[in-house]
């Protein structure tokens, strides 16, 4: 059914068109949540716990209440005691309900204990300081292994502080597999706590109108999840809640969660009868945002002399922090990822997700896979080195075939890793650089590779669907309504391209409307590399539905068969008799004075998942006297199916490489092991790569033909981050002989490892 399989060449899909909202963003016209200002608006902020674990004996807000300009204060006594999930994905198998809006118990440094609304943001800090909280400090635990001990303090009353029961993936019999192995490799890999550090801090504005209808402007990846959760927890019918997020400055996964603040903001608006705005400070985005999970992976693999994997056994232990958030989901995805990537007949992987009194970990680009692939791809490199095999050759010997089952349990339609590896090796000059004699001075260069495969959508854990509506205006232009949010990735542009291509109209004829739950069809949210794949599929179907209606009308007007008609540049014409033609605008609103016709196309798309593939190569220079690593270049070859817009697609890979290199070398929120305080919750001490730190990057996109997604598109957003740390670690090994098993690869730790 896909258009690209037909004879007509693509006109809009595959083009480097600029972002449809680019001018609005560049000129500052685009309204972000932090830009929203309402008449008589109040400002609110949370008081946060200084203790990692404590019970609140008593709170006295009287002095804060008396401060001039303070309009309302909420404590745990003032909020509905509803237990809910931070990750409100409906019907996810992994939902964990473990948080309250406010509670007489705090579980990490930064847990909210009260909220204040006031006339002006300047007095909030003073008001918060006047709230007296009498804490009974409780023993705290920060290490997941300690937290699993019987004597450890319990956070939520679960067995061994586990968020969910152990998640097990098992194929074959690992004992047999190890018995068949000639060599056994073992390693313990430890990953860090990077933060998404999006440009736009978390923010919302909540306002009730006189009839009790609530409008929430919020920086979110999932407007419908926000609406659903607010409705469920606060008891407001969905018809009375409108959630708006037209533009956002990044989310990277973290903004799928509902933190405490939107609930509190709604309650403050309710109590004061005025609009209320809450905006995180940058420090709050660190201490009370969501990090990638720090994970310890104990990995053991058996391999034959000729490099065939016989057994893989592993334990994936994720530190969830104080609440579950996406812990269940990332444990599932990370454990599945550890079981996959290369063919292995005997696999036993155990995934554990553990509560600790650390800051909350959540969804962040890669969702368990960056951690899993760091371990797996590091060990593959180690095996290759020990067996004297080229790392690419070892991978080729263990490659999946089409029809084999991937990490999500569904079969691969294609396995594009060999093509990615081959092309990447050519681009970086692999054969020559692997043979290069060691550099003479203290600076040593090396090249390394790591692979990944990733599933777009969270199928089958969630059977997702997306919706779109295409409505044709009287002049032939098009309103495209999509439920999917655009995090800043260019989703609106890609959706517009798909609609324009399908309808046979120009891109400038499409107006994209998104991020408004009152207007658009339902969408579960923008995450899991899903939007182009699944929302794009819905757009394609909605556009096809509208086009079918147009062609039926045109067939009547032109006395032709619908199958003989095509739409090009806004004109419907007969293939067999090109003189028979009519403009779309004349079809919709006849010049004869009759009322315009209503042409509305609807589309939903609920596919199963599809896999995308990547091989990434790193070339590094390591200063063996200081432990400093310079990434000289990265080559990223990705198979993502049809590329709808090469510019935004390459941008996704480039951005992912930026975060991936940061993950490898420096990004890490450091939590003090005694107090539980974050030691670098600011941009001075939380290091991200600057433009000057970025290496040369070569991105090449392979376009395997796969007609599941729109025009054959697959997912892409997360892939680039997943193998980057291992590629760099492997290049460091090639350069120095130091095998790194801990992230970030800090100079002081690396220096200890260099032989």
Q: How far is the CB of 692 from other proteins (least distance, A)?
A: 4
Q: Which of 207, 210, 203 is nearest to 275 (CA)?
A: 207
Q: Cα(180)–Cα(388) distance, rounded to whole angstroms?
A: 20
Candidates 264, 289, 284; CA nearest to 44 is 264
Size of the site for other proteins (CB under 8 A): 20
CB of 595 to other proteins, least distance (A): 58
Nearest to 499 by CA among 31, 17, 25: 17
Verify binding: residue 687, other proteins, rule CB under 8 A.
yes
199 scored as a contact of other proteins (CB under 8 A): no
Binding mask 591-630 for other proteins (x = CB under 8 A): ----------------------------------xx-x--
Compute the distance between CA of residue 172 and CA of residue 178 in angstroms, rounded to an integer.
11
Out of 394, 665, 717, 729, name the contact with other proteins by CB under 8 A: 665
User: What are residue 4's phi and psi, to 5 degrees?
Assistant: -70, -15
Task: Name the one range near other proteins by CB under 8 A: 131-139, 614-622, 686-694, 707-715.
Answer: 686-694
> Nearest distance from residue 623's CB to other proteins, in Å?
9
Phi and psi angles of residue 233, each rounded to the nearest 5 degrees, phi first: -80, -35
Shortest Cβ 42–other proteins spacing (Å): 20
Counting Cβ atoms within 10 Å, is residue 664 exposed (0-12), middle (13-18) or buried (19+)?
buried
Tokens matching residue 265: 């903001």
What's the closest the beta carbon of residue 735 comes to other proteins, in angstroms? 18
Q: Which C-beta is closer to other proteins: that of 390 or that of 693?
A: 693
- The DSSP bridge partners found for residue 42 are 276
Residues 532, 494 contacting (CB under 8 angstroms): yes
Minimum separation from the CB atom of position 750 to other proteins (A): 10
Tokens representing 456?
């777009």
Considering only 128, 478, 631, 689, the residue that binds other proteins (CB under 8 A) is: 689
Q: Looking at beta carbons only, is 602 or 749 nearer to other proteins?
A: 749
Q: Which stretch binds other proteins (CB under 8 A): 400-408, 483-491, 579-587, 680-688?
A: 680-688
DSSP code of residue 568: E
742 sits near other proteins (criterion: CB under 8 A): no
Beta bridge partners of 603: 468
Q: Which stretch binds other proteins (CB under 8 A): 324-332, 516-524, 570-578, 687-695?
A: 687-695
Interface with other proteins, residue 693, by CB under 8 A = yes
What is the 8-class DSSP label of residue 178?
H
Site for other proteins in 84-123 (CB under 8 A): 122
The single residue among 670, 697, 702, 754 that binds other proteins, judged by CB under 8 A, is: 670
Strand-by-strand arrangement of the 309-321 sheet? 167-171, 346-355, 309-321, 295-303, 183-190
Residue 78 lies near other proteins (rule: CB under 8 A): no
Q: Is 632 in the site for other proteins (CB under 8 A)?
A: no
Which residue in 666, 668, 660, 749 sits closest to 193, CA to CA? Answer: 668
By CB under 8 A, is residue 30 in contact with other proteins? no
**Min CB(279)–other proteins separation in Å:** 15
Neighbours of 202 (CB within 10 A): 26
The DSSP output letter for 17 is P
* Residue 377 structure tokens: 């791809």
**In the complex, least distance from residue 338 CB atom to other proteins, rounded to whole angstroms:** 30
Instruction: Kindly state the smallest distance separating residue 118's Cβ from other proteins, in Å.
Output: 15
Give the pair of three-digit tokens for residue 250: 């990044």
DSSP assignment of 708-748: SSGGGB---TTGGGTTHHHHHHHHHHHHHS----BSS--HH
As given in the structure block, the two tokens for residue 45 are 């902020």
Would you count residue 747 as binding other proteins (CB under 8 A)? Answer: yes
Tell me whether residue 425 or residue 671 sits nearer to other proteins (CB atom): 671
Is the Cβ of residue 474 or residue 672 nearer to other proteins in the bound state? Answer: 672
The reply on whether position 695 binds other proteins by CB under 8 A is no
- Using CB under 8 A, pick the residue from 680, 697, 700, 707 that binds other proteins: 680
Q: Which is nearer to other proteins, 151 or 684 (CB)?
A: 684
Element (H, E) at 498: helix 491-503
Task: Please identify, using beta-carbon distances, which residue of 171 and 687 lies nearer to other proteins.
Answer: 687
Minimum CB–partner distance for residue 234 and other proteins (Å): 34
Tokens coding 576? 């067999």
Contact 529, 487 (CB under 8 A): no
| 751 lies in the binding site for other proteins (CB under 8 A) | yes
Least separation, in Å, of the C-beta of 518 and other proteins?
Answer: 38
Alpha-carbon distance of 708 to 336, in angstroms, equals 22
Check residue 677 for interaction with other proteins (CB under 8 A): no
Give the interface with other proteins as residue ranges (CB under 8 A): 122, 625-626, 628, 665-666, 670, 679-680, 684-685, 687, 689-693, 747-748, 751
């Amino acid at each position: 059914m896909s258009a690209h399989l037909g004879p007509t060449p693509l006109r809009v899909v595959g083009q480097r068109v600029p972002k449809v909202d680019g001018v609005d963003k560049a000129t500052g016209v685009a309204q972000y949540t932090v830009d929203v200002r309402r008449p008589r608006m109040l400002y609110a902020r949370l008081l946060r716990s200084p203790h990692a674990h404590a019970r609140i004996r008593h709170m006295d807000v009287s002095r804060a209440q008396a401060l001039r300009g303070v309009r309302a204060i909420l404590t745990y006594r003032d909020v509905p005691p509803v237990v809910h999930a931070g990750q409100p994905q409906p019907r996810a198998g992994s939902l964990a309900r473990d948080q309250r809006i406010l509670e007489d118990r705090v579980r990490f440094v930064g847990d909210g204990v009260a909220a204040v609304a006031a006339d002006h943001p300047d007095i909030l800090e003073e008001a918060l300081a006047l709230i007296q909280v009498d804490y009974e400090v409780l023993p705290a635990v920060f290490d997941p292994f300690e937290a699993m001990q019987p004597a450890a303090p319990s956070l939520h009353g679960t067995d061994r502080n586990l968020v969910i029961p152990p998640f097990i993936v098992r194929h074959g019999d690992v004992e047999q597999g190890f018995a068949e192995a000639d060599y056994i490799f073992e390693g313990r890999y430890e990953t860090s706590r990077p933060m998404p550090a999006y440009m736009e801090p978390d923010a919302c504005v909540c306002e009730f109108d006189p009839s009790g209808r609530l409008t929430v402007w919020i920086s979110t990846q999932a407007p419908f999840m926000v609406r659903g959760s607010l409705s469920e927890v606060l008891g407001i019918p969905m018809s009375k809640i409108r959630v708006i997020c037209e533009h956002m400055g990044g989310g990277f996964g973290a903004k799928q969660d509902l933190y405490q603040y939107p609930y509190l903001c709604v309650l403050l608006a309710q109590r004061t009868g005025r609009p209320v705005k809450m905006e995180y400070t940058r420090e709050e985005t660190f201490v009370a945002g969501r990090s990638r999970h720090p994970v310890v992976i104990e990995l053991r693999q058996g391999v034959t002399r000729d490099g065939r994997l016989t057994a893989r056994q592993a334990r994936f232990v994720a530190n969830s922090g104080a609440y579950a958030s996406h812990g269940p989901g990332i444990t599932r995805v990370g454990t599945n990822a550890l079981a996959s990537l290369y063919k292995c007949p005997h696999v036993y992987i155990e995934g554990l997700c553990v509560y600790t009194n650390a800051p909350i970990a959540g969804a962040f680009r890669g969702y368990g896979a960056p951690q899993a692939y760091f371990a797996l791809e590091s060990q593959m490199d180690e095996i290759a080195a020990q067996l004297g095999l080229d790392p690419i050759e070892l991978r080729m010997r263990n490659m999946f075939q089409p029809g084999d089952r991937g990490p999500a349990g569904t079969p691969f339609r294609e396995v594009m890793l060999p093509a990615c590896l081959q092309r990447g090796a050519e681009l970086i000059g692999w054969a020559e650089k692997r043979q290069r004699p060691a550099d003479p001075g203290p600076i040593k260069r090396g090249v390394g590779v790591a692979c990944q495969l990733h599933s777009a959508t969270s199928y089958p854990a969630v059977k997702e669907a997306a919706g779109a509506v295409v409505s044709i205006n009287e002049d032939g232009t098009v309103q495209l309504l999509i439920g999917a949010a655009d995090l800043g990735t260019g989703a609106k542009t890609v959706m517009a391209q798909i609609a324009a291509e399908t309808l046979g109209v120009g891109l400038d004829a499409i107006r994209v409307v998104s991020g408004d739950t009152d207007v658009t069809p339902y969408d579960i949210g923008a995450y899991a590399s899903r939007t182009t794949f699944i929302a794009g599929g819905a757009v394609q179907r909605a556009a096809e539905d509208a086009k079918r209606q147009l062609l039926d009308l045109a067939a009547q007007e032109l006395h032709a068969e619908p199958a003989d008609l095509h739409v090009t540049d806004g004109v419907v014409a007969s293939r067999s008799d090109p003189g028979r033609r009519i403009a779309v605008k004349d079809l919709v609103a006849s010049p004869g004075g009759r009322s315009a016709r209503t042409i509305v196309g609807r589309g939903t798309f609920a596919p199963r998942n599809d896999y995308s593939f990547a091989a990434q190569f790193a070339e590094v220079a390591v200063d063996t006297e200081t432990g400093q690593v310079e990434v000289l270049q990265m080559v990223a070859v990705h198979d993502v199916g049809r590329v709808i817009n090469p510019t935004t697609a390459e941008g996704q890979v480039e951005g992912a490489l930026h975060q991936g290199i940061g993950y490898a070398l420096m990004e890490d929120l450091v939590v003090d092991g005694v107090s539980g305080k974050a030691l670098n919750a600011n941009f001075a001490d939380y290091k991200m790569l600057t433009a000057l730190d970025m290496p040369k990057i070569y991105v090449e996109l392979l376009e395997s033909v796969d007609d599941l997604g729109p025009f054959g598109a697959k997912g892409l957003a997360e892939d680039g981050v997943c193998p980057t740390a291992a590629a760099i670690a492997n290049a460091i090994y090639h350069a120095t002989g130091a095998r790194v098993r801990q992230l970030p690869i800090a100079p002081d730790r690396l220096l200890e490892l260099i032989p």
